[in-house]
Structure 1
Amino acid sequence: MLFQGEPLKMVHVPENNSQIVGAVVTRSKMKQIAQQQDQIYTTIPSVTNNKSSSSSQEKIEHSDEVTSDLITANNFDITQIKIEQAKDPIIQNKIEEIMKDPTKHPYVCKDAILYKLTLMRSNSTTKTKLIYLPPSMINSFLQLYHNDPLSSHFGVRRTYLKIKNTFWWPKMEQSITQYMQSCLPCQQYNINRSKKPGQLYPIPVPEGPFQLIGIDYCGPLKKTPADNQYMLCITDYFTRWVTAVALTDCSAQTTAQALLKEYICRYGVPKSVLSGQSTQFKN
């Protein structure tokens, strides 16, 4: 229209009347709309009769019963931990030692609760306070963090990572491992589907030298002036004689040429060659 010389007329279209304009809304605008809707819902008067309200109340109570069976409540509040710590003699002895000399032990006592001071990162200098969990609460605590529907029966490592930033107790990983091994659903359904490792067989001793040799690579190492950065090690299983050959690369062709030139041409053809499953040995 500009090229045809016709004038343009700019008309404001409210966003409520246009789907195109209302399609792009900022986050702040969405929050305002949500707050307005919440205010509208809260100001609507109740016009239902007693029967409908009683039936809805019954439905709510029934739904609460169902959800309470599915989700376990977290009863591990700081008051309960404080009570259980007061019953444990080991924890109380540590608190008494801290009161005598606070700088001597890696613990701290605050509001009659014992905490463990731990460096969460190797490069950090700030210690984090972790709640010292008493032994009487460990099993129920692990049951909450492992058997709960929201915990999904994680393994030892993931369960430990969930706990280690908040709680601590002696031999923590060991107790977590023992609890996982005693979990019946994990033992029933967490089946190892990988192939079992094969059995190791002893290598028979050869009758003489240069009959059975083993070959393997060492490297990459720092380059030499001749651009060599790999070392082909050839070991005789009878005499334990080692022949080391410096090579520029570890390809299959280079390996075959080095084995022929540096070993077979000197000591003869061996009966057997023992190697790994690397590509330079399988090609």
Structure 2
Amino acid sequence: MSWSKAVRALAAGAVVVGSVAGAGAVSAAPPAPDLVVTAVALPPGTVGGQQVRFGVTIQNRGSAPTPAGTISGIGFQVDGRLVTWSDQFTDSLAPGSSVTLAAVGGPSGSATWTATAGTHRLRAFVDDAARIRESNEGNNTLDTTFSVAAGIANRVQGRDVVASVAPLPVPSLSATSVTGDLFAGCTDTDGVLVDGTERLLGAWTVGNDTFASTKWTGGLASVPAGATRVRTGVSFSQVLYAYQGGLPITCAAGQTAQFTRFAASSVRTTRYAPTSTGPGTEVASVSTPVDVDFDVQP
């Protein structure tokens, strides 16, 4: 090979090597974050009617931190429908670091999802609004299947409200109230209601809507661990106390003003999981329409 050909061959080889090296430099991706969901938090023993706040742990498995001031958002979907989200975390998350977050809002304005009985699929979706440019945009979701037990079913038996409840592994508490219309009228000497004298005194709620310290203990009950039913008597002590000065009815001579009936229209039972400092958190609450007349007795 002549000297000139050798020079040209070396120059061509240098161009090829340079081209390959240049191509490698151009195709190398710049450092970028990569957010993934590593765990989803679900409350144990979830029952129908319970307000559930979802939690999640996310990790940056990329080669660069997430940008400070940009939301690392999470969307929580139940059975394909967005129910809540987390959009409060704006710190920079370094490569390899993790953070645990909880829902703070949702489409309905609530940070909780009202549990319904059955089996559900929860999807936690990090960077759900695509605010952060990641090295891998296809690994942002984690799916979890969970079950919800039936919550509370109310029915009236005699003067009692019987609530069927999902069994829990720990003792719980219940508060039951009955809402309806209170009536009174005039009775004759035989205790029979005189036609045309019955009148509405007003709407009332007896019992309790919350398990709290109160002088009116009607409607409050303890539910043992594993129990599936709680029976609560309907007490009208509050009504009798309110009208101890007499009923606002004027009766004819020989007649007596008396309560005639309490026409119940709904029954509400709320269940609480106790803590060391009090009744604790609400587990489930159900209001059931009824059409029952009660005698107004203590």
TM-score, scaled to structure 1: 0.26
Specify which structure has the higher proportion of helix. 1
Specify which structure has the higher proportion of strand. 2
TM-score, scaled to structure 2: 0.25
Instruction: Name the structure, 1 or 2, with higher relative contact order (CA <8 Å, separation 6+).
Output: 2
